[in-house]
Amino acid sequence: MKIITKIYLSIGFILLVFGFVTFAYFKQSQKVAKSIEQVLLSSEIIQTNSNLQHAVVNAQNGLRGFLLSGKENFLEPYYAGMASYLIELSLLKNLNRDKPDNINYLNQVDLEFNRWNDSVAAPIIQAKREVNTSEKARQHYNHLFYQSYSQEEGKIKIDTIQYFTGLIQKAETTNKNAQVAILKISQDRTDLLGIALTILALIIGVATALLLGKTIKRRISSMQNLASNLARENFDITLTDDYHDELSSLSADMNVMAKKLQQSFASLNKMNQELDQFAYVVSHDLKAPLRAINNLAEWINEDIGETTPDIRKNLSLMRGRVHRLENLINGILAYARIGRTKIEQTTFEFGDLLQEIAESLVLPPGFNFIFPTESLLITTEKILLQQVMVNLISNAIKYNNKSNGQVTVTAQEHGAVYLISVADNGPGIPQEYHEKIFGVFQTIEARDTIESTGIGLAIVKKIIEEKHGAIRVDSEPNQGTTFSFTWPIMLPVTVAHSQTALIHE
């Protein structure tokens, strides 16, 4: 199975779990909302039922006050109770439209209340108003009063009303308490379910991330190990991957790459060996006849005795051409070998290197060689830097046309490189030749004027570029020439520590 498929499945499963959590929350929320709705409905029914009871009591109290005082203003609570009763009864019936038992209770309440009002309250109120009009009216009032209060006809009807409203009150209180209990259970279940599913999703997510991360990290580490071995030219290592996914394809490609690199390096080493052998054979086969020609020219010069100056000049010119050709062969071999051999780095004093070069060169009379005055430790391949400096300095001496010739060498650290310059007071180089002089076999002077192979500066440029440096020439005719180049700074640990100690002191 592909890694991306595993990732998609893992994420999909986690999303599925969270989707289920959301759905469960939604369903539980619906239950909670329904329970809250039922609790609120029961609370409203209870409150409205209490208001209905209060309206009945107000009507009853208003009736009693009027009967005791005979004053009409005492009937205000009665009329207010009657009006409030009708309003609350209508509200109760609307609230209980889905509760048939409560509707039946309310019908009984309404029946009994109307009976109380029609058979008790309304007749006795009218009789009370007419009680003083005649003896017959007084007797009628006394009869109604006796029936209502002595026989408790009115009380029985009011008690019946209170009984049915009490049933409603009890039923709704019980329902309210039950819904509150259900609501609490729903909330607890919702919380537990949410916590459990969230923990499950987190466990699955963490486990999946760890499993995939560990698998991918281990395999990537193997690839990094292979890449490191390839960088160290160790091509024997291979990757084994049986997962059959994207990284497996990458591992297979890296194995193929390692094998091809191994074949390429083996072929390259073989070609280099053959090239070295060829160069050795060619140089040996070419140098042998050159030496023979040189020896022959010397023997002829010795044997001819006194002869014309032209003949001796031609023999000298022949020997010069032979030496030039031999130097040219050596230069070509040196140029071809640059960058192909591993040279050990050493730490040395730059001034000492210049002193060795000066002692190895033959300086013309009156020629001045100026060294840097400051000490400069350099860690690099000494032989390469020596070859660069020898070529630049020897060129400055060879081509100088002044009787008081001078070569000045400067060197300083410049960021991550050394900036080294070789300046002379010679004839200078025209602008159009500044790039041409670095080409192989390129010279400014005619070869017959100054013996030169035209390969020295090409070797200099190739060495500097192999070290990831750069070289440039600043010169004008009759203004001297300055070659400036950069050389990377590579400080060894021991040198770095000694410098740090000096700084602290």
Judged against a pLDDT cut of 60, whether residue 495 lies above it is answered with: no
- pLDDT for 393: 92
Crossing angle (nearest 10°) for helices 76-95 and 3-69: 160
pLDDT digits (tens, 9 = 90+) for 22-34: 787 787 778 778 8
Do 456 and 408 share a structural domain? yes
CATH assignment of the domain containing 301: 1.10.287
Helix (H, G, I), strand (E, B) or coil at 198: helix
Is residue 466 assigned to a domain?
yes
Q: How far apart are CA 478 and CA 493, in angstroms?
A: 46
pLDDT digits (tens, 9 = 90+) for 157-216: 888 888 998 998 898 899 888 888 888 887 787 778 778 877 887 887 788 778 777 777
Look up the domain containing 347 and give its range.
342-504
Q: Enter the tokens of residue 381.
A: 């391949």
Q: How far apart are CA 108 and CA 160, in angstroms?
A: 9
State whether the Cα torsion 253-255-258-264 is positive or negative: negative
What is the SS3 assignment for 305-371? CCCCHHHHHHHHHHHHHHHHHHHHHHHHHHHHHCCCCCCCCEEEEHHHHHHHHHHHCCCCCCCEEEC
Q: How far apart are CA 169 and CA 175, in angstroms?
A: 10
Do 321 and 409 share a structural domain? no
Do 399 and 491 share a structural domain? yes
Q: How far from each other are the two terminal CA atoms of the chain, in whole angstroms? A: 64
- Of the pLDDT bands very low, low, confident and very high (cuts 50, 70, 90), residue 493 is very low
Do 360 and 393 share a structural domain? yes
Residue 119 neighbours by CB under 8 Å, 6+ apart: 153, 157
Do 156 and 11 share a structural domain? yes
Is residue 213 assigned to a domain?
no
Judged against a pLDDT cut of 80, whether residue 340 lies above it is answered with: no
CATH assignment of the domain containing 112: 1.20.120.1730
Q: Enter the tokens of residue 427.
A: 């004839």
CA 5 to chain centre: 22
Is residue 231 assigned to a domain?
no
Amino acid letter, 72: E
Is residue 214 assigned to a domain?
no
Judged against a pLDDT cut of 50, whether residue 450 lies above it is answered with: no
State whether the Cα torsion 141-144-149-154 is positive or negative: negative
Do 160 and 279 share a structural domain? no
Q: Which of 203, 233, 259 is the last residue of a domain?
A: 203
State whether the Cα torsion 184-188-194-195 is positive or negative: positive
Judged against a pLDDT cut of 70, whether residue 334 lies above it is answered with: no
Q: Quick one: 138 exposed, middle or buried, by C-beta within 10 A (0-12, 13-18, 19+)?
A: middle
Pairing between β-strand 417-424 and β-strand 481-488 as defined by DSSP bridges: antiparallel
Closest to 407 measured CA to CA, from 418, 416, 415, 395: 395
Q: Which of 179, 203, 227 is the last residue of a domain?
A: 203
CATH assignment of the domain containing 448: 3.30.565.10
Do 301 and 427 share a structural domain? no
Long-range contacts of 116-125 (CB under 8 A, 24+ apart): 116/154, 116/157, 116/158, 116/161, 117/59, 117/82, 119/153, 119/157, 120/148, 120/153, 120/154, 120/157, 121/59, 121/63, 121/78, 121/154, 124/63, 124/67, 124/148, 125/63, 125/66, 125/75, 125/78
Do 259 and 278 share a structural domain? yes
Amino acid letter, 126: Q
- Mean pLDDT, range 379-389, rounded to an integer: 88
Q: Do 368 and 407 form a contact (C-beta atoms < 8 A)?
A: yes
Is residue 389 assigned to a domain?
yes
Q: How far apart are CA 469 and CA 462, in angstroms?
A: 10
Closest to 381 measured CA to CA, from 389, 370, 371: 389
User: How much of the chain, in percent, has pLDDT values that exceed 70?
Assistant: 81
Q: How far apart are CA 367 and CA 68, in angstroms?
A: 150
- pLDDT for 3: 66
Q: What is the DSSP letter of 433?
A: G
Do 423 and 348 share a structural domain? yes
- pLDDT for 222: 78
- Mean pLDDT, range 306-325, rounded to an integer: 67
Residue 459 neighbours by CB under 8 Å, 6+ apart: 331, 334, 335, 338, 387, 391
Is residue 492 assigned to a domain?
yes
Q: Which of 314, 337, 360 is the last residue of a domain?
A: 337
- pLDDT for 329: 63
Long-range contacts of 89-96 (CB under 8 A, 24+ apart): 89/52, 91/48, 92/45, 92/48, 92/49, 92/52, 92/168, 95/41, 95/44, 95/45, 95/48, 96/45, 96/168
- Of the pLDDT bands very low, low, confident and very high (cuts 50, 70, 90), residue 20 is confident
- pLDDT for 501: 28
pLDDT digits (tens, 9 = 90+) for 264-279: 777 877 776 766 666 6
* Alpha-carbon radius of gyration of the chain: 59
pLDDT digits (tens, 9 = 90+) for 56-66: 999 989 988 88
Is residue 230 assigned to a domain?
no
- pLDDT for 90: 93
Other beta carbons within 10 angstroms of residue 399's beta carbon come to 19
Q: For the whole prediction, is pTM greater than 0.85?
A: no
Q: How many folded domains does the chain comprise?
A: 3
What is the SS3 assignment for 70-134? CCHHHHHHHHHHHHHHHHHHHHHHHHCCCCHHHHHHHHHHHHHHHHHHHHHHHHHHHHHHCCCCC
Do 317 and 348 share a structural domain? no
pLDDT digits (tens, 9 = 90+) for 121-168: 899 889 888 888 888 888 988 888 888 776 677 788 888 888 998 998
Q: Enter the tokens of residue 395.
A: 């060129």
Q: How far apart are CA 87 and CA 99, in angstroms?
A: 19
Is residue 401 assigned to a domain?
yes
Do 350 and 257 share a structural domain? no
Residue 28 neighbours by CB under 8 Å, 6+ apart: 186, 189, 190, 193
Do 357 and 473 share a structural domain? yes
Q: How far apart are CA 439 and CA 451, in angstroms?
A: 17
Judged against a pLDDT cut of 50, whether residue 494 lies above it is answered with: no
Q: How far apart are CA 228 and CA 226, in angstroms?
A: 5
Question: What region, left, alpha or beta, does residue 477 occupy, with left being phi > 0 and alpha being psi -120 to 50 degrees?
Answer: beta
State whether the Cα torsion 396-398-400-405 is positive or negative: positive
